[in-house]
Structures are given as structure tokens and as C-alpha cells.
A and B are shown apart, each in its own frame.
Chain A
Amino acid sequence: MQGQQRQQTAGLEEKHKLATRWYHWINFPVLTVMIVSGMFIYWAFDPYRIGVGDFTLIHLFPNWFYDLTHIDRKLAIGMALHFLFAWLFAINGLLYVAYTLFSGEWRELVPDAKCFRQALDVVKHDLGLGPLPPQGRYNAAQRITYTAIVLMGGASLLTGLAIYKPVQIAWLTTLLGGYEWARWEHFWLTMGYIGFFVIHIAQVIRAGWPNLRSMISGYDLAKEKENTGAGRHVA
């Protein structure tokens, strides 16, 4: 069986495990529903902004944005969606973390000290200013970003719980700075996902079809020896 598997994949290189792909592609629509329903909820009380003192660069969100997206007046269905899909988000995320820990794959993902030095070189490379440093499955910038996004997922669960049951889990709410701070933290974590999404999609487009295909099928064509895989796998 094992030998047959190998033969079948001759000339191919495994890029992503089946489990990783499942968790990734389930998380994508689930997180989308969480963000959209979160916006439905946020609309009902939208105090946050980007600004300093009395100067407001942008109020989140401006009226034109609500008019454009029609996320207004949907608090009730927003809460109904949020407290259902939170389960899917939590279960899928916790299964992914458990899988990564038990399979040992976390070693390829969690950044080491070297990564923080190399990450700058990766950014320079992405801007066309230098070579890509040697890497394993993921480059230094990816390891930092993907680990951060998993930690943010955990933080979203905790801040969400703190807002959901601020009396029954008052210790957690207090730990996060109180009810209003927990809501602020929950909101900005979400803004972080949107920022990540924009860069992630830009990188996927830049990397091209073979890279996206490897996240779907798990495989890419095996490269010639001495090829570090530069430029292929950046999303």
C-alpha cells in the first residue's frame, strides 16, 4: 500500500497534508460567516475609529460602507448566525491545533529565532529587492504570519467568550480588561483577519495557479535538485 502510494506520486511533491487542507477550506467559509455576522452585530453599536485625540481619520464604519454592504439592521440574525458558527469555528480550529501538535507539523510552522531575522529578507524578496532565503515547507514570513493567525483565532474565542458570558465567566472578562475592552479586542482581531486576507489573496494571485493548486490537491510537480523552491510557494 505504502509502496503503491509512493509510485503514484512519482514526480510529485507533497506540499500540504490532507488534514491541513480540510481545516483550511472549512475555516475559510466559516470565518467569513463569523466576520459578516460580527459586522451585523457591530453595526448596532459602532464606536470604534482610527484617529488620534479629536482627530478621526476614519470612523468604523462610515455610512457609505453600510449603504454599500447592507449590513445594517441585522442584529438579531447576526447573533443567531454568530452563536451557531462560533461552534464550527472553535471545533475546526481546535481540531487543527490538536492535529498540528500530534502530527509534529507545528515544527514546520512555529517560527524559530532565525525566522524573525529572515522575515525581513522575505519581505524584501516579495518587493523584488533580493533573493529568497533558504526555507522548509514555509518561509520565515509565512511561519510568523500563520502562527500569529492561529493564535489570533484562539484570542478571538477567548474575547468572544468574555463578551458572551461576562457574568458567568467574569474572571476572563476581567482578565481582558473588562467588558468594553474585550469587545474592542474582539473587533480589532477581526480587522486583523481582514488585513491578513487582503495580503494573503494578493500573495496567492502573485504566486499563480500551481501554488493555489497545491493547496487544493496537496501536490505540486517535483522540482529539480538544488532548487530551493524560490518564488513558488509564497501565499
Chain B
Amino acid sequence: MSPEQSAAEKELAKRTRRSLLAMGGGILAAAVGAGWLASGNYNEGDIPPNFRRVFGANEKLVRSSLYSNNKLAPTFPASAIGKLKVNGEEGLEYELEPEEWRLEVKPYGSSGVTSKLVMADVKSLPRHEEIIEFKCVEGWSTVTKFAGARFSDFTAKFCPGSEKAANVGMRTPDEVYYVSVDMPSALHPQTLLAWEMNDQPLTHGHGAPLRLVTPVKYGIKNIKRIGLIEYTDTRPADYWAERGYDWYSGL
């Protein structure tokens, strides 16, 4: 072995050592980062709070630069309608007598429920139909036709001024299932309080008598059998956000 060659080999070994050390440092930094990500207190079934912060940062970016109520979800011809499956019966466990159902409304700034509406009140609003692609957070989607009243029309008629609230909270009558939705998404022109699906009255499994339908959110936000609507600046509890999912869940 010539002296030049052995010098080169030494140099190569030195460089390799240095690079391996840098990689070791990188692995260490990654481990510290992973520890930070997983740190903090959270309930069983939820995700660590730092992931929640990332969801929040993504939400902020989307809402400030991408989201617009002028952007409509694609609509489809009637021939594309599929069979929407019932996926989740939380809040629907008991039989509800249609004439017993009331929709309680808590307007923005009020301390309690100010009105208890009946179905005829909701149906007095202009009727809208849409054939949209209903998307489940699990990854599947089904083209479905819904008919109902725009949430924005509902708010304007039954609690005008409540559009100023940051969020809308909704619950089933038994309070087992609950969601909250940001106001822009609630006021989106395709966000409906629906009483018909595929030209038939809503079935029990799909949320009779009245459910939320919004193509700008995953199905988890499209609450069935609404019993209460409240307008508030706080963020009312959200069933799946408590179980590790993104609160915003916007599409």
C-alpha cells in the first residue's frame, strides 16, 4: 500500500466517522422531537396535545388562505347516487316519537334555550336539494341526495345576529352525540338541516327527523337527530375531537 493511498484511507475513515457522528446527532434530535410530540396530558383514546396544536396550525392556515364560502363542493347527477350506509348509532339508541321531538335553540349571547321549534317551523324555510359526495373520515364516500333548509336561512330566521358567534354546537336529545362546527362552515350555502335523503324522509339510522349535512366536513360532523343548536364563541364539546380526531375536520 502506497503512503498516498493509506493517507486517503485515513481521510476517508475520518470523514465517515464525522458523518456517522452527525447522523447519530440527528437520530438523537429525532428522539428528543418524538418525546416532545408524545408529551403532555391527555385522555385515553385522545391524541397528545402537541398533535392537537399541529391540527390547530393547519386549521388556521386553511381558514386564512384556502377556505371560502364561495367554493362549492362538486355536485353530481342523480344517476351517480349510491347507497349511504348507516355508520354509527351514537345518540340514536332509543325510539323517538316524532311528535315529541323539539329543536331547542340557544342564540348567541343568551344564557339558555329561548325557543323549542317543531318540524313545521324548520320546514317553513326555503327548501334546498343537493346531490353531494358524502365523505367519511374512514376514507369512503357515497354520492347522496339530501333535501332540507340552509343552516344560514335557519339562523337568519330563528336567531338573527347569531351569525356573529364563532362556533355552533349541536347535540342529540339524549346528549350522547355532540359536535361543534366553525361558523363559516355552518353558514356555507351547502350546509343543510336536512329531513330528506334520496327523496325519502330520513330513516331512524340516518338521523330522523333532522340532521346536519355539510359537504365541507367529514361525516363525523354531520350530526344526526339534532335536539339542540347553540351559538357561542367557545368551542362546544365535540364527540370525535375528544377521541383523537381533528376538531376542524374540514374538506
Contacts and interface: CB of A to CB of B under 8 A. Distances in A.
Interface of A: 8-12, 21, 25-26, 29, 41-42, 44-45, 47, 75-77, 79-81, 83-84, 165-170, 173-174, 179-180, 183, 213, 216-222
Given A76-B47, A216-B16, 18 more contacts: A10-B8, A11-B5, A26-B26, A29-B30, A79-B245, A80-B244, A84-B54, A168-B67, A169-B66, A174-B74, A179-B135, A183-B139, A213-B16, A216-B23, A217-B19, A218-B15, A221-B8, A221-B9
A80 B15 contact: no
Contacts of A25: 23, 26
B7 A11 contact: yes
Interface in B22-67: 23, 26, 30, 37, 47, 51, 54-55, 58, 62, 66-67
16 contacts: A10-B8, A25-B23, A26-B26, A29-B30, A45-B136, A45-B138, A45-B139, A77-B47, A80-B54, A84-B37, A165-B66, A168-B251, A170-B73, A213-B16, A216-B16, A218-B19
B163 to A, nearest CB: 21
Contact of A75 (B62, B66, B71, B137): B137
B140 to A, nearest CB: 5
A interface majority secondary structure: helix
Contacts of A221: 5, 8-9, 12
Q: Which of A11, A29, A81, A183: most chain B CB closer than 10 A? A: A11
B8 A222 contact: yes
B90 interface: no
B32 to A, nearest CB: 14
Contacts, number: 112
A217 B136 CA distance: 47
Contact of B71 (A44, A81, A167): A167
What are the 5 closest A-B residue pairs judged by CB atoms, nearest first?
A: A11-B8, A76-B244, A45-B139, A80-B51, A44-B138
B8 A12 contact: yes
A12 B11 CA distance: 8
Nearest to B245: A76
Nearest to B17: A217
A112 B184 CA distance: 51
A79 B47 CA distance: 10
A8 B47 CA distance: 50
Nearest to A222: B8
A8 B9 CA distance: 11
Nearest to A187: B139
B4 interface: yes
B36 to A, nearest CB: 12
A11 B55 contact: no
B238 interface: no
B243 interface: yes
Nearest to A183: B139
